[in-house]
Structure 1
Amino acid sequence: MHDYLHQSLTVAGTVLFFNSITLIIGSWLGGYIYDHGKVRFFLILSVLMQAASVFLLIFFHDWPCFAFLLILDNFGNGISSTIVSSLATGIKEKDPRYVFNMIYFMQNVGVVAGTMLVGYVIEISINMIFIVNFAMYAVFLLIVWLFYFVPQHVLAKHASQKKGVSDKTPKKAAIVIFAALALYFAIDVGYSQWQSNLSVYMGQLGIPVKNYSLLWTINGIIIVLIQPLINRFDESFQTKLTHKIYLGIVLFAFGFSSLIFAKSYPYFVLSMAIVTLGEVLTFPTFPAFVSSLSSFSEKGKYQGLVTAFPALGRAVGPVLGGIIIDNFSYAALFTFTSAFVIIVGSILIGCVEINLDGNGEIKK
């Protein structure tokens, strides 16, 4: 928006903020749909909405059409991604940890491939970006049409709900879930600094923009290499979801605070590596953890919140970071993000200890 459409950074930031808000609304709606029926119909409809938005961008990518279509695409993404995550909770043949790890892994394979290709594609024309994007949505739509069906036990659940039979998530489980979601929010407030304010900070230190971009390539490579190893480790040792989250808290807190001392590029690479390890451990674990605690009739509701809370963190993070930088310093920002994760993480640990037993089951 800034480089090609010549809009101010304030306008671009406002559009991205509304982009996050529509993702949150779409996530809530996707969860509601999953819990109340017509799942397949609305999943196909949401993917069609995304495909149509990107198709129109091929021809209408001037201002303000670009902003409107981008927001519409993200609204559809909120619905479809939440329904897909909710459908994943219904897969009984595989451990939920494996399912969500693989979803996260394949998402990042796409990110790495897209990041590598975009530089070459945009040299052909900016239109080609939208053409390739539309082709990917067309493939996704075909996959959804052929393979994404609602499991029979979920259909039975919807039928029982129509008869007035439903189960609610126990209060103790809900407390732990919202503590976990608060931690996810806190982590993304810090993580979003890497995607926004950190690029400015590195520029002030004389580090080229291409080196900043390379950090995200490193991030993707670490995820693609490490995630399969974590899958194998989980299968072999049946690691507890809470232990992965606890280790993630330590890694994020250390990674964010290490930026205080980062004055040269190798330090930023090290900090990114630490944060990425925390990401690999926690980001696919949150939906699995929430799924393990939520009731059968509220899977969609809570998976929607799993999408919404980090999106809210990404919306608030850059603005909050800018306020802290303007009034204090970058060091204060890095201290705040680290402390925020530690405080909210400690609250989650306390909630888990009070409400769950050693096997992750709700205490009687």
Structure 2
Amino acid sequence: MTRWWTQTAGGLPRTFWYLWTATLINRLGSFVAIYLGVYLVSVRHFSPAYAGMVIGLHGAGSAAGAVLGGVVADRWGRRPAMLAGNLAAAAAAVSLGLSGHPVAIAALTLLLGLFLGVARPAFTATIIDVVGERDRLRAMTLNYWAINIGFSIAATVAGLVLRFDPLLLFVINAAVLLGTAALIGLKVPESRPAPVTVGQFTRADRGGLGTVLRDRVFLTFTALTGLAWLCIESSVMLPVALRSDGLPASAYGPIIAVNGLMIVLGQLFVPRLIGRFDRSRTVAVAAVVIGTGFALTALADAVWFYALTVAVWTLGEMLMTPANSALTADLSPAAQRGRYQGVYSLGYAFATFAGPTLGGLVADRFTTDALWLGLFGLALLVAAGNLLAAPSRARRIAALRTPAPPPSPARQAAAV
């Protein structure tokens, strides 16, 4: 076990562990994002339709903030983006807890999502900056592990806090954001790389989102990732399937808990399992596993069977997430890592909206079985897309790793 732990977590820089701790602290107190819908309906007595709209605004703000934060991280630095995002989000969280007007709640929720989104690309870009290429898969896996540990604990504690005093949801969340900012401010140095010219990316340190939006290899990767996450996010339709099989809706909690339990207990074993394989092919295999899990859901008719299907697609998620994170780092020019991270996050933002929305439409118009089989087909298309894209990604990664040739004497003379 000592040797395994050393191989899993040893040799990573101290700055990474400060970031890892900040991730854990941040997720331990992420009460508002988890219980906002419950708070609006049960405490403020708004309609479910209004609560759904507000939650959607939080997601939209987070997506817009991630793009903005990526630009800030590349132009002005990782620390300004992380500090400004967390401090502003803390103020928005407290203001949201004190507000009772529906328009103010909607506006503050949008701002909260925006400020949280601003900090995230800079955070991931800093991990990529400080961790060497060989260790990035391990680092991303450890960070994902911290996210899930914090989320699992927060989901439990937030319910108790809500019963005691709903305002504490927002106050504790704000305190955690301030603590995250303090840890980053005291212990995490600026890591933005110095401007360099690498391969064809001669202007990677300048401009806005143009380089990212012209990068078809990366945009294809982001789209495929978003479709894979759409499959996973569609799992919110499981209670509908349980009800159609005559099973209690309360069984959804223990069934979906399999997802978090597997990730927390097993995620640290993933790097050694997939580290030696091509990442695009790993993601393709993961997509097939995810699709298989949902195909089996169409056959499930008992609680244990549903739990088994969740275990199958969770295994695919565990394989996909660190491989995708490492691929994002590999495909991002050093001076534009923030912007690339911001655009990459749009794939997940799309999935969090489209998965429940389209899943609900398919389940309502047809059946949940049609939804699960459709997700299986979509997952196979994602797998095929990743296999077809593997050669172009390999060429792009090789180009990014190849230093640009020195300028010719004629160009040097012209520059003088």
Q: Return the TM-score normalized by structure 2.
A: 0.77
Match of 1:166 in 2: 203
Which is greater in Rg? 2
Higher relative contact order (CA 8 A, sep 6+): 1
Match of 1:327 in 2: 365
Counterpart of 1:122 in structure 2: which amino acid? Answer: L
State the identity as a percent: 21
Match of 1:54 in 2: 93
Contact 2:223/2:347, CA 8 A, preserved across alignment? yes
Q: How many angstroms does 1:183 deviate by? A: 1.8
Are residues 1:98 and 2:166 paired? no
Are residues 1:340 and 2:381 paired? no
Contact 2:88/2:115, CA 8 A, preserved across alignment? yes
Are residues 1:81 and 2:120 paired? yes
Rate the CA distance shift 1:34–1:228 in 2: closer, same or farther, 3 A: same
More moved, 128-137 vs 326-335: 128-137
- Looking at structure 1, the residues matched to 90 and 104 of structure 2 have their Cα atoms a distance apart, in angstroms, of 15
Match of 2:231 in 1: 190
Rate the CA distance shift 1:97–1:117 in 2: closer, same or farther, 3 A: same
SS in structure 2 at match of 1:108? helix
- For the aligned residue pairs, the C-alpha RMSD in angstroms reads 2.9
Matches within 5 A, 1:1-364: 1-60=40-99, 63-93=102-132, 95-151=135-191, 154-157=192-195, 166-167=203-204, 174-195=215-236, 197-233=237-273, 238-353=276-391, 356=394, 361=398
- Looking at structure 1, the residues matched to 228 and 44 of structure 2 have their Cα atoms a distance apart, in angstroms, of 32
Q: How many angstroms does 1:38 deviate by? A: 3.6
Contact 2:144/2:322, CA 8 A, preserved across alignment? yes
Q: How many angstroms does 1:131 deviate by? A: 2.7
Rate the CA distance shift 1:132–1:167 in 2: closer, same or farther, 3 A: closer
Contact 1:78/1:307, CA 8 A, preserved across alignment? no
- Looking at structure 1, the residues matched to 65 and 211 of structure 2 have their Cα atoms a distance apart, in angstroms, of 25
Runs of 5+ unmatched residues, structure 1 = none
- Looking at structure 1, the residues matched to 90 and 254 of structure 2 have their Cα atoms a distance apart, in angstroms, of 29
Q: How many angstroms does 1:167 deviate by? A: 4.0
- Provide, for residues 139-195 of structure 1, a one-character-per-residue CA deviation record: whole Å limited to 9, x for no partner: 2121121122222xx35228x89xx96349999x94432232122111222222223
Match of 2:30 in 1: none
SS in structure 1 at match of 2:195? helix
Q: How many angstroms does 1:319 deviate by? A: 1.6
- Provide, for residues 213-239 of structure 1, a one-character-per-residue CA deviation record: whole Å limited to 9, x for no partner: 2234322111111111123445xx534
Q: Return the TM-score normalized by structure 1.
A: 0.87
Q: How many angstroms does 1:292 deviate by? A: 0.5
Q: How many angstroms does 1:275 deviate by? A: 1.6
Runs of 4+ more than 6 Å apart: 168-171
- Looking at structure 1, the residues matched to 234 and 393 of structure 2 have their Cα atoms a distance apart, in angstroms, of 33
- Provide, for residues 185-206 of structure 1, a one-character-per-residue CA deviation record: whole Å limited to 9, x for no partner: 11222222223x3223323434
